[in-house]
């Protein structure tokens, strides 16, 4: 088959290669999936300004995110269970990101462990932390991330309680994945995926199993996870984590200007305007629609990044024009991974890079660091 030219085409290939319950896990949002859909749809409402007869030679997409050089301001979002889209998924995605010169963020809920990823990469990656009730375990995760050379901690704030996804419930998908009869059919019809999965030793939640108290194997993980997300999480905990970590901190899941002000006061390097890809609060505004008000509130004090619904280089450019210093893609790289492993993540990044480059040029800019609201016809997208 010809190499996919769009993220939508990669998604179609992934749908054919990944067992349904894991494809659906990536391709789902909470409840009605209204926010998941709005994240994508609201980008389309923002229109770019075409410019002509501007010198478009010698273009550059290079920028920085939290002071780190990036070949383009597009990082990979932390995503749980990435290793179920493809065997060794986290390692392959991290390697593809490293090759592309963009940040990779490893989720707490990853299949491959922090140490697995560190052993197979040469540059520092970022580690995403969920704050569990067991603070000793949280401390140990922070220490492991530091020992592995992670250069930033991405602290996720919008999962004090788990959002519900109907597809996962219907598919019988649990953490950890438990095989029920219909899964056998789903896996049997995806033999390549299954053979690759059988060939890897990494089938556990490597950050947790064997490390958290009472979680010696996969069977005890499910109940542990269910009761460990901390509904009492507070700004004091953020201060505590910042102190424990002592390095660069990114706060993920900010959707409100008042919360953004509080986040800026913590002294973190950056915030990510994010609604968890529409997987938590269904009915929340799209992240791109709240980006302008958050940039207005704190953009002069803290780096503002954004994720949710980015499916093209055009979307990246629009987010940058609205004041984001950096962007992230979640599902686009998961689709690439499910479709073709490491090569697929590279394809996803190449698609976005190529689209970003051409779009920037056709808007009359040569340097991605120079883009701003003047490139947009509608400065404010759908307002929440
Ligand atoms: C996520 N997301 C997420 N976020 C996080 O902080 N920790 C995690 O473990 C996960 N897990 C996860 C799994 C899957 C399958 C998806 C799709 C997403 C949210 C993620 O980091 C990011 O916010 C969104 O994916 C961004 O939206 P798009 O790019 O997927 O539309």
* Chain segment 65-82, per-residue pLDDT in tens: 999 999 999 999 999 999
Q: Quick check: 253 and 262 in contact, CB under 8 A?
A: no
Q: Is residue 30 within a helix (H) or strand (E), and if so which, with residue range?
A: none
77 pocket-lining for ligand 1 (C-beta < 6 Å): yes
Q: Fill in the DSSP letter of residue 286.
A: P
Q: Is 258 helix (H, G, I), strand (E, B) or coil?
A: helix
107 pocket-lining for ligand 1 (C-beta < 6 Å): yes
- Position of tokens 């949710």? 308
User: What is the per-residue pLDDT across 242-283, written as a single tens digit (0 to 9) for each?
Assistant: 999 999 999 999 999 999 999 999 999 999 999 999 999 999
The per-residue pLDDT for 380 is 52
CA-closest residue to ligand 1 atom 18: 79
Q: Show the beta-strand stretches assigned E in 217-302.
A: 248-254, 270-273
Q: How far apart are CA 50 and CA 80, in angstroms?
A: 39
User: What is the per-residue pLDDT across 2-36, written as a single tens digit (0 to 9) for each?
Assistant: 999 999 999 999 999 999 999 999 999 999 999 99
> Does residue 354 register a pLDDT over 90?
yes
Q: How far apart are CA 343 and CA 92, in angstroms?
A: 9
The per-residue pLDDT for 316 is 98
Q: How far apart are CA 63 and CA 37, in angstroms?
A: 29
The per-residue pLDDT for 225 is 86
In the set 86, 166, 211, 276, the catalytic residue is: 276
User: What is the per-residue pLDDT across 210-252, written as a single tens digit (0 to 9) for each?
Assistant: 999 988 887 788 888 888 999 999 999 999 999 999 999 999 9
Which two tokens mark 112?
Answer: 């491959």
Residue among 25, 8, 37, 24 nearest 308 (CA): 37
Number of CB atoms found within 10 A of residue 63's CB: 18
109 pocket-lining for ligand 1 (C-beta < 6 Å): yes
Average pLDDT in the chain: 94
The interface pTM score, or ipTM, of the predicted complex is 0.99
User: What is the per-residue pLDDT across 110-162, written as a single tens digit (0 to 9) for each?
Assistant: 999 999 999 999 999 999 999 999 999 999 999 999 999 999 999 999 999 99
* Confidence label for 383 from pLDDT (cuts 50, 70 and 90): very low
The per-residue pLDDT for 176 is 62
The per-residue pLDDT for 372 is 97
> Does residue 384 register a pLDDT over 50?
no
276 pocket-lining for ligand 1 (C-beta < 6 Å): yes
Burial of 327 (0-12, 13-18, 19+ CB in 10 A): buried
Q: How far apart are CA 350 and CA 202, in angstroms?
A: 28
Atom from ligand 1 closest to the CA of residue 108: 9
Helix axes 342-362, 313-321, angle to 10 degrees: 50
User: Cα of 336 to ligand 1 centre, how many Å?
Assistant: 15
Close Cβ partners of 252 (under 8 Å, ≥ 6 residues apart) = 78, 128, 154, 155, 156, 157, 158, 271, 272, 274
* Confidence label for 177 from pLDDT (cuts 50, 70 and 90): low
Cα angle: 50, vertex 52, 54; to 5 degrees? 120
User: Cα of 40 to ligand 1 centre, how many Å?
Assistant: 14
**What percent of the chain stands above pLDDT 90?**
86
Q: Is 86 a catalytic residue?
A: no
Q: Sign of the C-alpha dihedral, residues 71, 73, 78, 81?
A: negative
pTM for this entry:
0.96
Number of CB atoms found within 10 A of residue 203's CB: 18
The per-residue pLDDT for 216 is 84
């Amino acid at each position: 088959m010809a190499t996919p030219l769009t993220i939508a085409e990669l998604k179609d290939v992934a749908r054919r290669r990944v067992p349904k319950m894991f494809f659906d896990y990536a391709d789902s949002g909470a409840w009605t999936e209204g926010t998941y859909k709005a994240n994508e749809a609201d980008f389309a409402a923002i229109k770019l300004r075409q410019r002509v007869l501007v010198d478009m030679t010698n273009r550059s997409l290079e920028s920085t995110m939290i002071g780190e050089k990036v070949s383009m301001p597009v990082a990979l979002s932390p995503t749980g269970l990435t290793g179920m889209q493809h065997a060794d998924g986290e390692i392959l995605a991290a390697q593809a990101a490293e090759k592309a010169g963009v940040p990779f963020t490893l989720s707490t809920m990853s299949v491959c462990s922090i140490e697995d990823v560190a052993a197979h990469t040469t540059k520092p990656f970022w580690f995403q932390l969920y704050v569990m009730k067991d603070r000793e375990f949280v401390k140990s995760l922070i220490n492991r991330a530091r020992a592995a050379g992670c250069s930033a901690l991405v602290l996720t704030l919008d999962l004090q309680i788990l959002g519900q996804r109907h597809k996962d419930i219907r598919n019988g998908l649990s953490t950890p994945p438990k095989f029920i009869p219909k899964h056998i059919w789903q896996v049997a019809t995806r033999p390549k995926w299954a053979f690759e999965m059988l060939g890897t030793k990494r089938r556990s939640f490597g950050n947790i199993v064997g490390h958290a108290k009472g979680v010696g194997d996969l069977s005890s993980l499910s109940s542990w996870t269910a009761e460990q997300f901390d509904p009492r999480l507070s700004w004091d905990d953020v201060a505590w984590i910042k102190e424990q970590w002592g390095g660069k901190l990114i706060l993920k899941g900010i959707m409100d200007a008042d919360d953004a002000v509080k986040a800026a006061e913590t002294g973190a390097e950056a915030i990510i305007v994010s609604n968890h890809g529409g997987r938590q609060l269904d009915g929340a505004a799209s992240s791109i629609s709240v980006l302008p008000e958050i940039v207005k509130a704190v953009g002069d004090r803290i780096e503002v990044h954004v994720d949710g619904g980015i499916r093209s280089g055009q979307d990246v450019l629009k987010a940058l024009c609205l004041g984001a210093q950096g962007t992230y893609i979640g599902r686009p790289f998961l689709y690439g991974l499910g479709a073709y492993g490491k090569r697929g993540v590279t394809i996803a990044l190449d698609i976005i890079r190529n689209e970003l480059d051409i779009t920037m040029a056709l808007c009359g800019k040569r340097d991605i660091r120079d883009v701003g609201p003047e490139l947009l016809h509608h400065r404010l997208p759908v307002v929440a």
